[in-house]
Structure 1
């Protein structure tokens, strides 16, 4: 990872856009509808470091190299991170191609190497992100404290949220009925059902692109990772960074983890997984076999 992606809260922040012309206007449009206060600078006003005092981010757009360099120097003198359109060497950060769904924002960046590639990838992903996704995120943000209080154990909270994201509350939010969505989510929380644990067997021989979408999602959601020796590194890389990684355990150990409501991703590379799956089934553990070795 050559650049670290981060999402910067905009509420109560000041963003400066310096310059005139299409590039500056494109930077300003990035913040249409945002809660940030946008300040526009042009001409020699952009060369004064005091003009950037209190700003959180600065964007510069201009066809004039001298203007871009002088404005960037002034922003840096004010100790504000700066982005200069089409001039990666002058940038402290680059702007990604953005998918904006309100509370849900996705971004694709190439570190300034190929903005066109980022745009093409954005168009592909944007078609898969429903318009109502932001409302679903807003629903869960509004009840975040209630969920944390009711389910203080992280793994049970994750299990509840996984189930809720595919449940009636999320569907109501997607349709725009936020009042009903909140009521349904509170009802689900009051029921005390935090989701059942299970063990999912996933083919870890690689390469990662051979995995089904369901297998990739299972890795991303797993609480615990248990991998055979020789598991493909790219497959392993699809798992959550904060998932627990354990050495291979007996079926009784996996059953104990599932009984605690944990999602266990069992990454396998050989056919011995079949005996393990049978033993787990005999112990009453819910198992799921995703595309794996035969």
Structure 2
């Protein structure tokens, strides 16, 4: 990862756009409908650091090299991250191709190397993100505190939200019936019960493209990764970054994790796992073996 993607909250924030012409207008259009306050600067005003004070982001768009360098320096003097159109060397960040679904925003970046490629990828992904996705996100945000209070344990909360995202409440939000969606989500929360834990044995020899879709989804949903030392790095890369990672554990420890309601991905290399699997089955722990495709 050559650049770290980050999302800046815009409510109550100021975004400064320095310069004139179509390039500056394009940057301004990025923020249409956002809650940010947009400040447009031209001429000498854009060269004054005080004009950028308190801004969250600054964009400079100009064909004039002297102006672009001066405006970028002014923004940086005010400690504001700056993007300068078509001048990567002057940029603190690059502008990605954006998919805007309200509460759901996706961004594709190439570090400024190929904006056209980012745009093409955006078009491919945009077709897969339904217009109602933002309403689903808004639904979950509106009840976020209630869900956290009802389900303080992170693994139980993740399991509930994972199921709810494909449930009736999400369907109602997608259709635009937010009142019904909230009612359905509250009802699901009130009736939620702890799910049994699960240990899934996943062949981690690699390469990652040999994994079945079911195995890839298991990695993405796991609360805990228990990994053999030689597990393929590409396979590990399919797991959640915030999942707990452990070295190989005893079958008793795996059973204990499952008893806590956790989903455990046991990433295996070789055949020694069979004894673990037999011990867990004998202990009544739910298990699943996910071999590679073919």
Per mean C-alpha deviation after superposition, the further-off stretch among 39-48 and 204-213 is 204-213
Q: Is the 8 A contact 2:226 2:267 kept in 1?
A: yes
Q: CA RMSD in A?
A: 2.0
Counterpart of 1:95 in structure 2 is: 95
Map 1:64-103 onto structure 2 (within 5 A): 64-103=64-103
Counterpart of 1:6 in structure 2 is: 6
- Distance across 2 between alignment mates of 1:217 and 1:132: 23
Shift, 1:279, TM fit: 4.3
Shift, 1:147, TM fit: 0.9
Residue 86 of structure 1: SS of its match in structure 2? coil
Map 1:108-119 onto structure 2 (within 5 A): 108-119=108-119
Q: 1:262–1:34: structure 2 CA closer, same or farther, 3 Å change rule?
A: same
Residue 199 of structure 1: SS of its match in structure 2? strand
Counterpart of 1:169 in structure 2 is: 169
- Distance across 2 between alignment mates of 1:246 and 1:221: 16
Post-superposition Cα deviations, 1:45-67, rounded to whole Å, max 9, x if no partner, equal: 21222222221111111222222
Per mean C-alpha deviation after superposition, the further-off stretch among 214-223 and 33-42 is 214-223
Per mean C-alpha deviation after superposition, the further-off stretch among 83-92 and 204-213 is 204-213
Shift, 1:243, TM fit: 1.5
Map 1:1-294 onto structure 2 (within 5 A): 1-274=1-274, 276-292=276-292
Residue 16 of structure 1: SS of its match in structure 2? strand
Residue 16 of structure 2: SS of its match in structure 1? strand
Q: Is the 8 A contact 1:159 1:261 kept in 2?
A: no
Q: 1:132–1:290: structure 2 CA closer, same or farther, 3 Å change rule?
A: farther
Unaligned runs of 5+ in 2: none
Q: Is the 8 A contact 2:212 2:292 kept in 1?
A: no
Q: Is the 8 A contact 1:201 1:290 kept in 2?
A: yes
Shift, 1:245, TM fit: 1.7
Q: 1:51–1:292: structure 2 CA closer, same or farther, 3 Å change rule?
A: same
Aligned length: 294
Shift, 1:274, TM fit: 4.8
Q: 1:29–1:182: structure 2 CA closer, same or farther, 3 Å change rule?
A: same
Residue 113 of structure 1: SS of its match in structure 2? coil
Q: 1:266–1:108: structure 2 CA closer, same or farther, 3 Å change rule?
A: same
Post-superposition Cα deviations, 1:199-242, rounded to whole Å, max 9, x if no partner, equal: 22222111223333432232122111012231101211222222
Shift, 1:10, TM fit: 0.2
Q: Is the 8 A contact 1:201 1:292 kept in 2?
A: no
